[in-house]
Amino acid sequence: MRRLAIITLAFVTAVSACKKEPTTDPRLAGSSRFERAGWIYVHLEGTPSQVGFQHGYVLATEIDDHLRVTKPLLLHDTKRDWSFYRNAAEKMLWPGIDSEYRVELDGIVEGLKAKNVVADRWDIVALNAIEELPGYYVPWLDKQQGKPASAKAPGNCSAFIATGDWTTDHKIVIGHNAWTNYVTGARWNIVFDIKPSSGHRILMDGLPGVIISDDDFGINDAGIVVTETTITGFAGWDTSGTPEFFRARKAMQYADSIGDFVRIMTERNNGGYANDWLVGDNKTGEIALLELGLKNHTVDRTMNGYFIGSNFPVKPKLAKEETNFDYTKKGSSPNARRTRWEQLMAEFKGKIDAEAGKRFEADKYDVIEKRDGPTERSLCGTVEDSPRGVPEWDWGPYFPGGTAQAKVADATMISKLQMWAAVGRPCAPDFKADAWHAKHPEYDWAKGLVRDVPSGPWTVFSIGDSAANK
């Protein structure tokens, strides 16, 4: 027995040595991670290689899980397997990515490798493109091949930005809540504090393994603050353009002004993830709406006013030429939420601050049914109880989705790179996956993909934050 114990100990020691993590790896210098109120906060800093390695290393478990659930979800939604997305990442997206971000993406792979997570470059590039490839490239490709559309562009999120006479201090206030299915939404709980060796420091929310926010709420240390909502019913793609996720990250990191942001986002635009971008410059108090399609893009700017987003195209020309959007359907989710936004902006003129922003992003009033929801037509919405589903999305009736988290910041917070953030559904109780599955066996294919979505409190996050700060 003694000899067996010694042999067993030797075996365990050998296995442990094989799995030993390089905790003293110099590439991890300065990185950190903690959890608060349902969010995972990570600080990344250094060269692109270091930022990528730290990202992959400190979020290895979450990235592994994100890849695990994304593959079957996309197969179900688009009828394309993961090899299709990997091939598009390699052949179409990679050539358009600047070397700085190629290095960062490869760094994520190296960080995962150090934690014994198996994923390569094309897995990570495809993961970064999970908004633009399924919803934009796939429908375009279906059309080119003469096939019925197997997917369509999403219509997610409710957002606003206001300044001048609309806010209490005549400075910028911005807010956003992310609408998505709860497979992805349950994992959209990362707060990134990125201090790159070049460009601006960034505070943003995001997904594990993705180098940009992707629901796009971010602040940089030049005072540029950004969010967006997608344009419902959009169709268009340019195979020679550059990936949207790359342009969005580059703009977040290098924009010193609204003009810089617009220039970077419109340069070699591939049409992927067509959005109404709400942008503010905290140095001047100016705000802007960049409506970015493929054939059309427009910029509206003001020092005194507001812009709102709930997935409706603003400009009729873009709507006519690049979408199938119907402005006359007052009961559609985008149009109903637009009506509610206009009501709230009028009601709160001169009184908009961060607290009002939190109220807006948790608003659950349905203007069509004239009652509190939340429903698929309220600014903060849920759809798992709806037999209608949401026609603008691909989710079927009762498939869980809607608001998955929310963020708000005012000018003082923007100047300090701070934001309020609430994980889950600020307008509804926790979503419980097991209870939903029990009621909807038709979605058994989603078991192991859909998980609980707890509704957390509004919590402040800042650059340089730590677990010791409350």
Would you give per-residue pLDDT tens digits along the chain (470 residues)?
333 333 333 333 333 333 334 457 999 999 999 999 999 999 999 999 999 999 999 999 999 999 999 999 999 999 999 999 999 999 999 999 999 999 999 999 999 999 999 999 999 999 999 999 999 999 999 999 999 887 888 878 999 999 999 999 999 999 999 999 999 999 999 999 999 999 999 999 999 999 999 999 999 999 999 999 999 999 999 999 999 999 999 999 999 999 999 999 999 999 999 999 999 999 999 999 999 999 999 999 999 999 999 999 999 999 999 999 999 999 999 999 999 999 999 999 999 999 999 999 999 999 999 999 999 999 999 999 888 766 666 678 899 999 999 999 999 999 999 999 999 999 999 999 999 999 999 999 999 999 999 999 999 999 999 988 86
What pLDDT, on the 0 to 100 scale, is given for residue 23? 59
* Cβ neighbours for 243, distance < 8 A, ≥ 6 positions apart: 93, 96, 97, 128, 129, 132, 270, 272
What pLDDT, on the 0 to 100 scale, is given for residue 385? 86
Asked if 100 and 48 touch (Cβ cutoff 8 Å), the reply is yes
| Cα distance between residue 209 and residue 93, in whole Å | 16
Task: Dig out the tokens for 21 from the structure.
Answer: 């993590």
Q: Which neighbouring-strand residues pair with 281?
A: 224, 286
What's the CATH architecture for 151-462?
4-Layer Sandwich (3.60)
| Cα distance between residue 427 and residue 373, in whole Å | 9
What pLDDT, on the 0 to 100 scale, is given for residue 92? 98
Q: Which neighbouring-strand residues pair with 226?
A: 218, 279
* Cβ neighbours for 206, distance < 8 A, ≥ 6 positions apart: 188, 190, 191, 192, 212, 213, 214
CA distance to 117, 206, 391, 431, 469, per residue, from 112 (Å):
5, 18, 38, 30, 28
| Cα distance between residue 418 and residue 104, in whole Å | 25
What pLDDT, on the 0 to 100 scale, is given for residue 4? 34
DSSP state of 269: B
Task: Dig out the tokens for 143 from the structure.
Answer: 């059309």
Based on the number of CB atoms within 10 Å of its own CB, is 187 exposed (0-12), middle (13-18) or buried (19 or more)? buried
Judged by DSSP in three states, 148 sits in coil
Q: What is the pTM of this model?
A: 0.94
What pLDDT, on the 0 to 100 scale, is given for residue 331? 93
What pLDDT, on the 0 to 100 scale, is given for residue 142? 95
What pLDDT, on the 0 to 100 scale, is given for residue 395? 76
What pLDDT, on the 0 to 100 scale, is given for residue 391? 63
What pLDDT, on the 0 to 100 scale, is given for residue 393? 64
| Cα distance between residue 317 and residue 322, in whole Å | 8
Cβ-based neighbour number of residue 167 at 10 Å: 26
Tens-digit pLDDT profile for residues 369-388: 999 999 999 999 999 988 87
Q: Which of 347, 311, 387, 345 is nearest to 157 (CA)?
A: 311
∠120-217-287 over CA atoms, to 5°? 140
What pLDDT, on the 0 to 100 scale, is given for residue 186? 97
Q: Which of 268, 222, 123, 187 is nearest to 454 (CA)?
A: 187
